[in-house]
A and B are shown apart, each in its own frame.
Chain A
Amino acid sequence: MDISPSTTAPPPPQDAQPKPISHKAAARGATRPGDRVFLGLSRGSGILLLLIMAAIAAFLTYRASIVLSKNEGNFLTTFEWDANAIPPYFGIAVLAFGTIVSSIIAMVIAVPIAVGIALFITHYAPRKLSGPIAYVVDLLAAVPSIVYGLWGALFLVPHLTGLFSWLDQFFGWTGVFEWQGGAPRSLLTVGILLAIMILPIITNVSREVFRQAPQMHQEAALALGATRWEVIRMSVLPFGRSGIISASMLGLGRALGETMAVATVLSPSFLINASILDPGGGTFAQNIASKFSEATEQGRDALIASGLVLFVITLLVNGAARAIIARRKEYSGANA
């Protein structure tokens, strides 16, 4: 066929090498008003975020440093919170312990169950069932945390005595599960409640990841004679591994910072118990919530200092999660 000159492609630019699109170059060439407005908006939002973060960090650090300089106790090791006194005497040892222990309990309970639910929804349940189950899990996420707190205090706590005495009877010798018989408002109770609260987020994120597990690798496993569980073990779980870790970290983030539910359920004290069944202990967020209203300005600064520590712990947790994910990138399903 004859091709007229007008339909031929325009001559290629001098630099015929295809280049990856550079956003910088695109921005430089932004002469149209729409582009300029959008560039301004998005750049402004980015800068605003940094400014807000910097302002929060500066404010927290400043207020914390005032009270820390006056603190008579050791901020990291003192087992007391007498922040309104002059001079103040307080430390975060109990809070750090309680926060970390209750979150670990929550993770230990929630992650396996969440992964199980997610696998059930994506790989086991008939389609008619998987929709409603996913919906119920979503509902769980919509419950306000104070409602969890009320439920925990009014229903969960009275019903835990059986579990607690059973644990004491069979595992009391470990010391960790020793129970003096007090009301079950301990770190374990908090951990159980937190587990229920972080279940939906871990389930939902894992479910989305499992759903994207490549069909071709599942078929490869099936064709080798893998059972359904072996297919999941060989192709779905390895693919979803980094997703499960990020999901867990999202859940952990919520568990670490959860306030109202913990404050409602726990009977706090500034003690570290070897047993997770005995009442006592506290968490950063719970301590802030229960002490804030009666705190003097100095007391509030002390609470802010403890909040800063929670912030740092959360950062460390996220960093660790990223490191775990990056370590075996070569083997991740993403580059298949």
Chain B
Amino acid sequence: MAKRIDVGGLTAYYGSHKAIEDISMTVEPRSVTAFIGPSGCGKSTFLRTLNRMHEVTPGGRVEGKVLLDGEDLYASAVDPVNVRRTIGMVFQRPNPFPTMSIFDNVAAGLKLNGNYKKSELADVVEKSLRGANLWNEVKDRLNKPGSGLSGGQQQRLCIARAIAVEPQVLLMDEPCSALDPISTLAIEDLIGELKERFTIVIVTHNMQQAARVSDRTAFFNLAAVGQPGRLIEIDDTERIFSNPSVQATEDYISGRFG
């Protein structure tokens, strides 16, 4: 179910602007890897290169390799649509489909794949909602629109939607930045449960959050505004937050940044 990601020499552009440069790292399966760093350092851009969402942006292109269990996602024969079916994504702002009911939101990905049985659909939806710790809150109103839920519930609905298709990897782009502390806690607990089944990569601005939820932490930085973002270091979270090997990481974490 969960797969390993190996990134080699990855550079991403927006048009002629180089957003990130020469990033290499390994993301272990069944673990949580957090990306931290200042705004504009390319964490989100890098995250979006992992499921080929970057190239959806006009002018977005990528050089380098991303291997999912040894298979290059950027090989010419690979269909980005299939990549995104294998690598799920949760966004910064909760984005359930406003025209769909809660049930249909969770079922949306399955219906895309087409290979499902009507009888199984309800089971998968329930299982996914339970997996996202949302079932008890919405089981009586599955046919109501998803936009009627609170922000935190909507975000868990989006997580349910993402895990319903049983992805290999789950990418989360600042999933709690639009949420209150209680909802944030609920999502963080959920991440702890989900890592038993999925490889999780999370971008966060909240360093306590990175320290709480992740096993490994990658620190990104950029030399100056307009310069491409780079990976400074990646290590076990404990080590990054106690005894990082690069001075810049320690400066950032201890707030002596900039």
Contacts and interface: CB of A to CB of B under 8 A. Distances in A.
A, B: real partners = yes
Interface of A: 127, 214, 216-217, 219-227, 230, 234-235, 238-239, 241, 330-333, 335-336
Interface of B: 51, 53, 56, 58, 81-86, 88-89, 91, 93, 95-101, 108-109, 112-113, 145, 147-148, 158, 161-162, 165
Contact of A219 (B53, B109, B113): B53
A333 B98 contact: yes
B95 A217 contact: yes
Contact of A224 (B56, B58, B93, B109): B109
B80 to A, nearest CB: 9
B53 A225 contact: no
16 contacts: A216-B91, A219-B56, A219-B91, A220-B91, A220-B95, A220-B161, A222-B53, A223-B89, A224-B108, A224-B162, A225-B112, A225-B165, A238-B97, A331-B100, A333-B99, A335-B98
Contacts of A241: 99
Contacts of A235: 97
B82 A225 contact: yes
A30 B183 CA distance: 46
A332 B98 contact: yes
A80 B58 CA distance: 61
Contact of A217 (B53, B84, B89, B98): B98
Nearest to A225: B85
Contacts of B165: 224-225
Contacts of A336: 98, 147
B98 A224 contact: no
9 A-B pairs closest in CB distance: A225-B85, A238-B99, A223-B89, A336-B98, A224-B109, A216-B95, A225-B84, A220-B95, A331-B99
Given A331-B145, A333-B99, A222 B109 contact: no
B85 A224 contact: yes
Contacts of B96: 220
Contacts of B56: 219, 222
Contacts of A333: 98-99
A220 B84 contact: no
B195 to A, nearest CB: 19
Contacts of B86: 225
B108 A335 contact: no
User: Which of B99, B145, B148 is the most central at the interface, judged by chain A CB atoms within 10 Å of its CB?
Assistant: B99
A330 B145 contact: yes
B112 A220 contact: no
Given A216-B93, A219-B91, A332 B99 contact: yes
Contacts of B158: 220
B99 A223 contact: no
A219 B53 CA distance: 8
Contacts of B58: 127
A228 to B, nearest CB: 9
Contacts of B162: 223-224
